[in-house]
Structure 1
């Protein structure tokens, strides 16, 4: 391995985008700590890269285990340079349909899992003089969409936390980027869980299924990995990076509509604020 090679820590490394990120990093001569609940899909990569790939089993919702695995990764490779918070899942269903266990499970994985990983790796990145932390978000964080409300909620939370984290750790040379992918041919959809349908949403579900059947165009995960490699190579990475033309267009469309709405209600918004002296205690 080259002395200049990077050490990656990738969660959800066994499938989908995580697998693509892992493959791209290894192909570049970097070393990777591939983290996943099921490590068997990484057997072929381990055979081809016996020195470059360290596989560690982990459920990212287990905070204590996350910290332990991060420490083991550093013990093995000596440092961490690039952390990719990729583990996640999609739970579909109308907001009204979610039970407490289902709602908590979605947020536990997509938000708290990413939070625990962030907390665990920041001290190691700081000790190494800096590094990159990539938070894999989603088009679902651009807005709330029917049947993916809890998924969007988990990604909105991830992005809010990540913006604050980016400002907090910049002083240590740690650069955080929120990556917002569009559609890719992964098993995110086929492995998703669904709520028990409420018949009152039958017409909406039928319309959504029609839209997805007619308008869904997904891409190869390899293209997302190529973009991430460019991101990691940049000396000035952005706080946010959109991946895909569709998500790029959606982001601008949503932003414009929000700005139009704010402008239309500007008078009401400004009238709701008037500075006054602090009230005195009675």
Structure 2
């Protein structure tokens, strides 16, 4: 068992650790004196961090869509460092395309990575955290979970699923001293879009696609992943972390805007909603 680091140092398990936000999270945890298990399909980009922090970064090649491999990796992490304090489910990818354009294989691949991968890691980690009586699972969701947007419908679906599962997980794990937080980041300079996959375009959507491209051409000003990592360090240091955390002014404002519009819609249809419910006695069993 590895014993490097101070007695108070925490042990992290971070998926998608070799690039983007995952690498920023890994670097921040190491800079804080903690120990990290960095998991990714390709861990070679973490070689420099491993060299700078000898004994405190264990890299594991991992495909999070493989449930058996996930459980083995979490077991290796616990065996190596002796415990597991913080899990960050960061692995994910964007499969772009209109909903109608997705093949079954493409749709399942999006859900396998963004939802099922996080589910498998959460299940595996919870076993250890329950036994410890403490731990913090951080689910990296997305602005895409605030609503569905053209060309990212399946991505949003995967993040909606992640958040629904995580809310239930938070309630189930609380009695064991395990905390769960859903983090919804806005725009950061990562390779999420440059490495995204795309469906085969259907010409029927050419006008909508052109309009979207026009909007994107106006450009966006995203943030450095380091700022998200700083927010994450503040989150995990809290004795009372929230169930949800928005990262960035844009996503913060959008969340409130979407929530207000939904509330306005619900209020506008209140009479219809209330007329659809009336308590009645249970129907009598049919005589046979």
TM-score > 0.5, shorter chain as reference: yes
Please give the alpha-carbon distance, in whole angstroms, between the structure 1 residues aligned to 2:246 and 2:121: 22
Distance 2:20 2:161 in 1: 22
What is the aligned partner in structure 1 of residue 21 from structure 2? 17
- Helix, strand or coil at the partner of 1:178: strand
Gaps of 5+ in 1: none
Q: Deviations over 1:212-262 (max 9, x none)?
A: 221522110000000000000000000000000000011000000000000
Which whole-Å CA distance do the structure 2 matches of 1:256 and 1:30 have between them?
40
Counterpart pick for 2:167 among 163, 169, 175: 163
1:91 pairs with 2:95:
yes
Query: 1:70 maps to which residue?
Result: 74
Aligned-partner SS, 1:35: strand
Q: Deviations over 1:16-41 (max 9, x none)?
A: 00000000000000000000000111
Corresponding residue number in structure 1 for 2:201:
197
Shift of 1:186: 0.3
Match of 1:246 in 2: 250
Match in the other structure for 1:45: 49
> Normalization by structure 1: what TM-score?
0.99
Of 1, 4, 9, 1:5 maps to: 9
User: 1:2: Cα distance to partner?
Assistant: 1.5
- RMSD after superposition: 0.6
Query: Equivalents in 2 of 1:152, 1:221: separation in Å?
Result: 21
Number of aligned residue pairs: give it: 282
Report the secondary structure of 1:135's partner residue: strand
Corresponding position of 1:115: 119
CA distance in 2, matches of 1:206, 1:127: 53
**Deviating more after overlay: 128-137 vs 255-264:** 128-137
Match of 2:58, SS state, is: strand
Partner-residue secondary structure (3-state), 1:74: helix
Summarize the alignment of residues 261-276 of structure 1 with structure 2, pairs less than 5 Å apart.
261-276=265-280
Q: 1:71 to 1:200 in 2, by over 3 A?
A: same
Query: Quick one: which of 28, 32, 36 aligns to 1:28?
Result: 32
CA distance in 2, matches of 1:81, 1:58: 19
Partners of 2:123 and 2:101 lie apart in 1 by 32
* TM-score, length of structure 2 as denominator length: 0.97
Cα distance in 1, alignment partners of residues 220 and 59 from structure 2: 34
Gaps of at least 5 residues in structure 2 are none
Following TM superposition, the consecutive aligned residue runs of length 4 or more in structure 1 with deviations greater than 6 angstroms are none
Q: For 1:93 and 1:265, how far apart are their aligned partners in 2?
A: 32
State the secondary structure of the residue aligned to 1:179.
Answer: strand
2:282 counterpart residue number: 278
SS at match of 2:218: helix
CA distance in 1, matches of 2:224, 2:211: 27
SS at match of 2:189: coil
